[in-house]
Amino acid sequence: MMDKKQLGLTRQPMSLMQSNKASTQSSIHSQRTSALCKPPLLFIKINYAAQYSTDELLNITEQHKNQGARSTVLCCSPDKPFLHLAPTVSALIKAQHSIGVESQINDDLFLGSEAGAEFILLLNEDNLWLAEQTPATPIITPNKPGDLSALRRCIKALQKQNKPFIADPILNPLQKGFTESICKYQQLRKEFPNIDILLNTKNVPELLSSKKIGENAILEGIMAELQIQYLLI
């Protein structure tokens, strides 16, 4: 009869078992850390884009792409009509750039989308109808900062249409509801674990300062824990 040693049934030394267990735990931790550290997709704004020529916007957008931008957002201003918006978007798309258009004027969003813009910002309950009439992916916000009920209705409406979207609950300025707004992001993620979320830093430029390493780390940690896929700067 073969003994246990010949059958390979002898126990591994405790130290080896502990080593294997530690190695497995380390591997799992590394996988989780890798997933959490995945960088967000970056959107970079060009404020008051109408003041630039198409050639200038091409150069700026190329710089953004070299900086790792997923998309460049052309921001329109109600004070200065963007008369060359459509041809500019067309030229940028032809140059293989991803473009978003942000405006308070619905006609700008419609024209930008028709010219090939991939994203339109920022839609809410008042102009959500644009999402159904344009091929662009809408980035949606509540009508008022922190009003998750309104944002929730927008999300459910777009889900019913099977329309891709990105949700932005709106981040409030530091010392002016910042912490509460972070909680809104957390609540939104709990309610909708599978949607795409954007963190817009417009109200908190302090968090992007390269001189404030601690604040950058906090921002990165928040985005990782809440699985926020997009960052708009």
Average of per-residue pLDDT values in the chain: 85
For tokens 């960088």, the residue is 39
Encode pLDDT of 30-76 as tens digits.
443 444 456 789 999 999 999 999 999 999 999 999 999 999 999 99
Tell me how many degrees the CA angle 92-204-172 measures, rounded to the nearest 5.
110
- pLDDT greater than 70 at residue 120: yes
- What's the pLDDT at 16? 40
- pLDDT greater than 50 at residue 169: yes
**Do residues 101 and 112 make contact, with C-beta atoms less than 8 angstroms apart?**
yes
Tokens of 23: 């190695």
pTM for the predicted model, two decimal places = 0.82
- What's the pLDDT at 17? 42
User: Closest Cα partner for 115 from 183, 54, 39, 36?
Assistant: 54
**Do residues 140 and 154 make contact, with C-beta atoms less than 8 angstroms apart?**
yes
- pLDDT greater than 80 at residue 7: no
How far is residue 140 from each of residues 71, 96, 128, 178, 213, measured CA to CA in Å? 16, 25, 8, 19, 30
User: Closest Cα partner for 42 from 201, 207, 216, 225?
Assistant: 201
By DSSP bridging, strand 99-102 and strand 137-140 are: unpaired
- pLDDT greater than 70 at residue 11: no
- What's the pLDDT at 34? 46
Band of residue 77 on the pLDDT scale cut at 50, 70, 90:
very high
Q: Which segment of 1-15, 86-100, 208-222 scores lowest on mean pLDDT? A: 1-15
Q: How many CA atoms lie within 13 A of 131 on its CB side?
A: 27
Percent of the chain with pLDDT over 90: 68
How far is residue 109 from each of residues 62, 93, 162, measured CA to CA in Å? 22, 16, 20
6-11 CB contacts, 8 Å cutoff, 24+ apart: none
- What's the pLDDT at 208? 64
Band of residue 14 on the pLDDT scale cut at 50, 70, 90:
very low
Q: Which segment of 21-30, 87-96, 108-117, 166-175 scores lowest on mean pLDDT? A: 21-30
